[in-house]
Amino acid sequence: MKKIAVITSGGDCPGMNAAIRAVVRVALTYGIEVWGIRNGYAGMIADDMTKLDSRSVGDIIQKGGTFLGTARSEEFRTLKGQQKAADNLQAHGIEGLVVIGGDGSLTGAKQLSGLGIKIIGLPGTIDNDIWGTDYTIGFDTAVNTALDAINKLRDTASAHGRVMLVEVMGRACGWIALTAGLAGGAEIILVPEQPFSSDNICKKLVESRSKGKKYSIIVVAEGAGSAMELGKYISAKTGLETRVSVIGHIQRGGAPTVADRLLASRLAERAVRALVEGRSDIMIGYKNNQCVEVPITDAVGKKKDIDPELYRLADVLSQ
């Protein structure tokens, strides 16, 4: 293999830059030329790419976002768009492609592999919702950001004796809420994977006051429902003073943590090695502290669940 490309696509996440850097530098050690595609699949369709060398990826390991840019492309959802993108890669003589992104981006990668491009996916999303990997790049940083918010909100909730609801991201998945909620000592954690009743929540809050708790933290995954609506309900039903914070895109930014930089670097090295050794149509995941190769069809076709043991533990510890 003489020439490969790297692309970041979909929602950005901290650690994408570390992954691009590692793809480039590892590939160069094999004598492979690397091209960076700007602005996700939209850039691939527009033939917006640039040759990268070691210096092009200097001073980025510590930065959030992605220096290549990213996008969610409607055109790429069509077969015509995918064919145009594949034609552009082939016209440049690009034989292999490393795609860093979440579920939608890896699904896009799968389509390209059907059009003759050798692809390797890397799971890059704050949501941690990709099957075949214990962690996705960006999740650890996002959870630490959410935890920092919970810690701060706890101070003010405690000072006023309030119920504080914190809505976190995660799309249809509760990993961010569960992990940040458990680490932040939340009294209640609401995730889309576990049904709940607003009335039971109100009951629990009132009971906890009678047990001596002076304030409460509730972490709500965005996929479980609107924290704003639930906050209004709780306030009306219990009379407890309630406030809501939706922390939103703050969770997507910031310097990647150690864990995310290491994960990104290790997965990226393995991605290039797989291409060099002739393997493709896979995603590199991280299972039990090891890089693993999983078929891309499984990575995008199977559903990753939250860890029920963590959910149980969070409940036990919230008494």
Q: Cite the active site residues.
A: 127
Say whether 183 sits in a helix, a strand or coil.
Answer: helix
Residue 75 is labelled as binding a ligand: no
Q: Tokens at residue 135, please? A: 């962690």
Looking at the Cβ atoms of 25 and 171, the one nearer to ligand F6P is 171
Residue 261 is labelled as binding a ligand: no
Looking at the Cβ atoms of 21 and 171, the one nearer to ligand F6P is 171
Q: How far is the CB of 250 from ligand F6P (least distance, A)?
A: 11
Residues 204-223 that bind ligand F6P (CB under 6 A): 222
Residues 162-181 that bind ligand F6P (CB under 6 A): 169-171
Distance CA 181, CA 184 (A): 5
Phi, psi (5° rounding) for residue 217? -115, 125
Looking at the Cβ atoms of 168 and 205, the one nearer to ligand F6P is 168
Distance CA 23, CA 27 (A): 6
Residues 68-107 that bind ligand F6P (CB under 6 A): 102
Q: Which residues contact 206 (CB under 8 A, 6 or more apart)?
A: 238, 240
Output 75-79 pairs: Cβ under 8 A, ≥24 positions apart.
Answer: 75/41, 75/42, 75/45, 76/40, 76/41, 76/42, 76/44, 76/45, 76/108
> 124, 13 in Cβ contact below 8 A?
yes
Among 125, 133, 245, 280, binds ligand F6P (CB under 6 A): 125
Query: What is the b/e burial string over 230-246, where b = at least 16 CB atoms within 10 angstroms of the residue's CB?
Result: bbebbbeebebebebbe
Residue 213 is labelled as binding a ligand: yes
Q: How far is the CB of 135 from ligand F6P (least distance, A)?
A: 15
Residue 185 is labelled as binding a ligand: yes
Residue 38 is labelled as binding a ligand: no
Among 33, 95, 127, 140, binds ligand F6P (CB under 6 A): 127
Residue 49 is labelled as binding a ligand: no
Segment near ligand F6P (CB under 6 A), from 54-62, 108-116, 123-131, 289-297? 123-131
Among 21, 252, 261, 270, binds ligand F6P (CB under 6 A): 252
Distance CA 309, CA 75 (A): 41
> 35, 94 in Cβ contact below 8 A?
yes
Residues 7-66 that bind ligand F6P (CB under 6 A): 11
Stretch (H or E) spanning 157: helix 139-160
Residue in this structure with the two tokens 């995660």, named with its chain if needed: 170
Return binding residues for Mg(2+).
103
Binding site for ligand F6P (CB under 6 A): 11, 102, 125-127, 169-171, 222, 252
Instruction: Detail the residues annotated as belonging to a binding site for substrate.
Output: 125-127, 162, 169-171, 222, 243, 249-252
Q: Which residues are annotated as a binding site for ADP?
A: 21-25, 154, 185-187, 211, 213-215
